[in-house]
Structure formats: C-alpha cells, structure tokens
Amino acid sequence: AEITDKKVKVAIAEGDGIGPEIMSATMDILKAAGANIETELIELGEQVYLSGNTSGIKSESWDVINRTKLILKAPITTPQGKGYKSLNVTLRKSLGLYANVRPVSSLYPFVKTHFPNMDVVIIRENEEDLYAGIEHQQTQDVVQCLKLITRPGCERIIRYAFEYARAYGRKKVTCMVKDNIMKLTDGLFHQVFNEIALDYDDIKSDSQIIDIGAAKLAAHPENYDVVVTSNLYGDIISDIAAEIAGSVGMAGSANIGANVAMFEAIHGSAPDIAGKNIANPSGLINAAVLMLAHIGQIKIADKIKNAWLATLEQGYHTSDIYQEGISKKKVSTEEFANEVISRL
Ligand code: ATP
Ligand code: MG
C-alpha cells in the first residue's frame, strides 16, 4: 500500500470465547500506538447464530462492512449441530477475499521451537478449488465434489504472491500443487505460475508436488520463503506451518479481496480458556499489524511489531508459551498488552 496517515474506518468483530479479551488487548495497543483508525463494532458469531440467524451475521453488519471495506475480526464459535453455515466461508465468498496470506516465523531463542530459522509466508487461493461448493448427489451411494480452477483465479493469486514477495523483499516463491495427477486443474495452476514467474526475474521461483512439498516444509521450513498454492492444499500447509513455528496463539492472517480486506488471528475461539485473561493476544495483534501495513500506516505497524518483539524477547510470556529458563514472567492477556504499550 501507499504510505499514508489518512484516517481509515474499520469494522471490528469482537468474536466469541477469548475473542473479546484479545480484541480489547489489541485495541488498547492500537490506540496507544496512535493508529489512525475509526472503529465500528459489528455483530457476528455465536449469539447471532443462536438467535436463529443461520448465516451468523446480522444484516446491519453487512452494511457496515460495505462501507468500511476493512474488517478486524476476532475468532468466533460456530454452534455444534447441523444448519449453521460457516461464517468464514460466507465472508470470503461474499466479499471476494481471494488471497489468504499467513506469515509464520519462529522467534528463537525467545520462544521455544524446533525450527530456529523459520520465516515463511503461505499464500493460499481462497475462493476456488474444492471450496467452490459445487457438490452433487449422483445416486444414494455416490457423491461428487467439483474442483474448480480458473485461469483468472490462478493469475490473480500467483501475481499477488510475486507482488507480495517484491513488496516485502522476499527472494523466492514456491508453487505447490499436484499436477502429475490432476493434469488439467493443477496443471493450469502450475502453467500460469511458470508464465507469471517470467515477469519477475528479480525473484526466484520453483515448484514442488504438494505431498513432498508439505513433508519438506514440515522438516526444513527454513528452506522456504513465499509459498503459493490452491485452496485445500493451502489450508493444510498453512496449519502445518503455524503449528511447527510454536503456539497457534502467535500468528495473524490477512484475507485480501479487490475491494475488501479482513484481518484475523489464525486460531479459534479457544472456549477452554475463555474469560480467564490468560489467552495470548499475539495472533490478533499481528493481524492488526498486517492491517495497518495494508492501509499504508507502515510506521505505526512497525512500531507495534517492534514493541511486540521486544516484549517477547524480554521474556514477558503468556502461559501458552511460558517456559522455565526462557521466560522471565508469566503475564495475563492484559499485562501482555501493557508490556507492549510500555515499549512502543
Ligand atoms: P476452531 O475450530 O475455531 O478453529 P480449534 O478447535 O482449532 O477451533 P482453537 O480454538 O484454535 O481450536 O484452540 C486450540 C487450542 O489452542 C486450545 O487448547 C486453545 O486453548 C489453544 N489456543 C488457541 N488460541 C490460543 C491463544 N490465543 N492463546 C492461548 N492458547 C490458545
Ligand atoms: Mg482451528
């Protein structure tokens, strides 16, 4: 994004479970850092589902989103049982959020990990593939799901990956699909990757079959930089990447569309620890940092990121990453936010 300090409107969804706690911590930090945003709360998630609205989002919330075109969203709980449509899929599809971007890096030696040099960005296509929702019942015992891959869809996500690499000073983009088996669908993705790579001779490119690629990513994440892939594979490898980097509480992600963008933590609403003021707010803080970078408030984004890193480096850790010998103090959600604020 262009660097600017223009005031930007953002829709805030406080979410369920630990959502309100980590959102409150994140908002405190944004405010203290001087983020130039105007927030508007939107209602979505468990309460909306349970009120009988199976979409999980109020129509007034759509109005707000259509105005702000920017969302910071805490995790939500989808009630158990049939009939509740996944709000994440609804938002991605309705808002055309075609790119899911998940940067994952380890913070060795400050946070325990097996992979000290990991610094990967997974860029996942977010609308097509087996998630297009085209399923049929052929007969009572035969069902079918269509895998939809389009050239414009491939071009958009692959170009996004190379542009991202260029903008963030990354050196290499790796394509992962299984075109040895799915010669048409995955073949198209791979072919478009090869074509677009030619436009970016400043960035290295290579390709791996997804099965061995996923295995190698899990064993040697330090060998990867930016990875671009289709929807289902991206879902799987982005979880692998986040898991091996340390705590699920650490990473944020961006969902990018042509007109709207939504930022969120990668983890769920963690009902097991909700209301205890112990959740790690880092995932949502990082999502907010990605949001600020997206709207051009780069200086404030950097300021928060650096304060966050310093807090972790100086050993102020929430219980999910607390480790005797490495950590200095076990802090609550709120205390963690205050430590970050004191380092801005
Ligand atoms: P969902 O279906 O919503 O993705 P999930 O089953 O994947 O949920 P999460 O809610 O992500 O589960 O939680 C998985 C585990 O990680 C839980 O034990 C939870 O307490 C822990 N966890 C998740 N987020 C955090 C966090 N921010 N801080 C600390 N622990 C967390
Ligand atoms: Mg999950």
Q: What is the pLDDT of residues 193-234, one digit of tens each?
A: 999 999 999 999 999 999 999 999 999 999 999 999 999 999
Report whether pLDDT(252) > 90.
Answer: yes
From 46, 248, 250, the mutation candidate for ligand 1 (largest count of ligand atoms within 8 A of CB) is 248
Check residues 72 and 247 and name the one with the higher pLDDT: 72
249 ligand 1 Cβ < 6 A? yes
Q: What percent of the chain has pLDDT over 90?
A: 86
Tell me how far the alpha carbon of residue 129 lies from the centroid of ligand 1, in angstroms.
Answer: 26
Q: Name the β-bridge partners of 135.
A: 145
Tell me the pLDDT of the chain averaged across its residues: 94
Output the six-digit token pair for 211: 């099965």
Residue 132 banded pLDDT, cuts 50, 70, 90: confident
CB of 80 within 6 A of ligand 1: the answer is no
Task: Supply the pLDDT for residue 41.
Answer: 97
> Comparing 24-28, 77-81, 150-154, which segment has the lowest mean pLDDT?
77-81
- Ligand 1 probe mutation, 78, 247, 264, 267, most atoms within 8 A of CB: 267
318 C-alpha to ligand 1 centroid (Å): 14
**Which percentage of the chain shows pLDDT scores above 70?**
99
Nearest atom (ligand 1) to Cα of 267: 11
Residue 1 has pLDDT above 70, yes or no: no
Q: Is the ipTM of this complex over 0.90?
A: yes
Residue of the CA atom closest to atom 29 of ligand 1: 279
Would you say residue 236 has pLDDT above 70?
A: yes
Residue whose CA is closest, atom 2 of ligand 1?
Answer: 268
Task: Judge whether 290 and 36 are in contact, CB under 8 Å.
Answer: no
Q: How far is CA 150 from the centre of its chain?
A: 23
Q: Nearest bound ligand to CA 77?
A: 1
What number of helices (H) and strands (E) belong to the chain?
11, 14
- Find out whether 317 and 5 touch, Cβ atoms under 8 Å: no
Separation CA 142–CA 26 (nearest Å): 48
Judged on CB neighbours under 10 Å (0-12, 13-18, 19+), 296 is: middle
Q: What span, in angstroms and rounded, lies between the C-alpha atoms of 29 and 31?
A: 5
Which residue has the least CA distance to atom 3 on ligand 1? 268
**pLDDT bracket for residue 82 (50, 70, 90):** confident
> Tell me, what's the pLDDT at 19?
98
| Å from CA of 273 to ligand 1 middle | 9
How high is the pLDDT of residue 2?
A: 65
CB of 79 sitting under 6 A from ligand 1: no
More reliable by pLDDT, 99 or 110: 99
- Nearest atom (ligand 1) to Cα of 270: 10
Q: Which atom of ligand 1 is nearest to the CA of 320?
A: 29
> Can you give the pLDDT at residue 72?
98
**pLDDT tens-place string over residues 153-188:** 999 999 999 999 999 999 999 999 999 999 999 999
Q: Please check the confidence at residue 5 and state whether its pLDDT lies above 80.
A: no
CB 323 within 8 A of CB 110: no
Q: Does residue 305 have a pLDDT over 70? A: yes
**Residue nearest atom 1 of ligand 1, based on CA coordinates:** 268
